[in-house]
Amino acid sequence: MDNRPQKYAVLNNKGGVGKSTIAVHIAHGLAIKGKKVLLIDMDGQNDASLFLGFTSEDYHRSLYDLLMGKSTSISDCIVKARDNLDLLPSKYIDRINGELYKEPDLSSFLQSRLSGLEHLGYQYVIVDCGPQRSKVNDAVLHFADRIIVPVQVEAASVRAIGNIYEYLSDLGLDSDRIAMVIPNMFDQRTCDGKENLNFIKEFFAGSNIVTAPILRRIKITECTELGKTVYEYDEEASKQFENLVERLASIDGR
């Protein structure tokens, strides 16, 4: 039996579209369903860690130590975030990025540096990525089995949808890796919102990767500011993520 975790990167070249929010809520949602999940925070702003209530005071070792050859084991860098949910935090992402310019081949870089992960019993590894192209994101895209793309239902975000395809193609990766496109912060009351959502659906017509939209909910913004997830904060808002979690849990099938 294949015991290796399913690895997902949550990525979009734009900032503020909901990558960290979605990464955290998918991760915690799966954990609540009893799946063993590791969330890797690979964005310099550390929002995913913050959204789970962790500041840099709470961890002394991080992905930086692991990737930059400091003698440490992966388990020493992981912190328990919730039942069934662990967090691998990061520091100095810019320094890691600078170092990666020296690596001749990024296609197996994370796979080999994080090989210890395969034996820790996780069913899912979710990587929260920073915006924009970077060496770190190149490495993550090679490492992940599948990609989750949040798109803010707003004109500028929608116009930029094609960028992810260009990025994958430049790395020589197949766009089949995109598992889900998640319209986020949808406001069904505005014509603009409906128009942009339709654009997303049409762009991906013929595939079934576009999920139901996540509505803009103030409770979602509030909980991330408090270092809690919606599952701990507001039952009604937590329903926004149910569908996504179900969908992922069924893709995996374990």
Ligand X SMILES: Nc1ncnc2c1ncn2[C@@H]1O[C@H](COP(=O)(O)OP(=O)(O)O)[C@@H](O)[C@H]1O
Where does this chain bind Mg ion (CB under 5 A)? 19-20, 43, 47
- How many residues at the interface with ligand X, by CB under 6 A? 16
Coil, strand or helix at 186: strand
CB 187 within 8 A of CB 193: yes
Q: Does 184 bind ligand X (CB under 6 A)?
A: yes
Site for ligand X (CB under 6 A): which residue of 108, 115, 169, 221? 221
The option from ligand X, Mg ion, none interacting with 53 (CB < 5 to 8 A, set by class) reads none
The option from ligand X, Mg ion, none interacting with 185 (CB < 5 to 8 A, set by class) reads ligand X
Residue 21 CB, shortest distance to ligand X, in Å, is 3
Whose Cβ is closer to Mg ion: residue 131's or residue 146's?
131
Residue 242 CB, shortest distance to Mg ion, in Å, is 22
Coil, strand or helix at 253: coil
Strand pairing class (85-88; 79-82): antiparallel
Question: Segment 26-65, which members bind ligand X (CB under 6 A)?
Answer: 47
Report the distance separating Cα 170 and Cα 160, nearest Å: 16
- Partner residues linked to 7 by β-bridges: 125
Site for ligand X (CB under 6 A): which residue of 134, 157, 224, 238? 224
Site for ligand X (CB under 6 A): which residue of 177, 217, 228, 247? 217
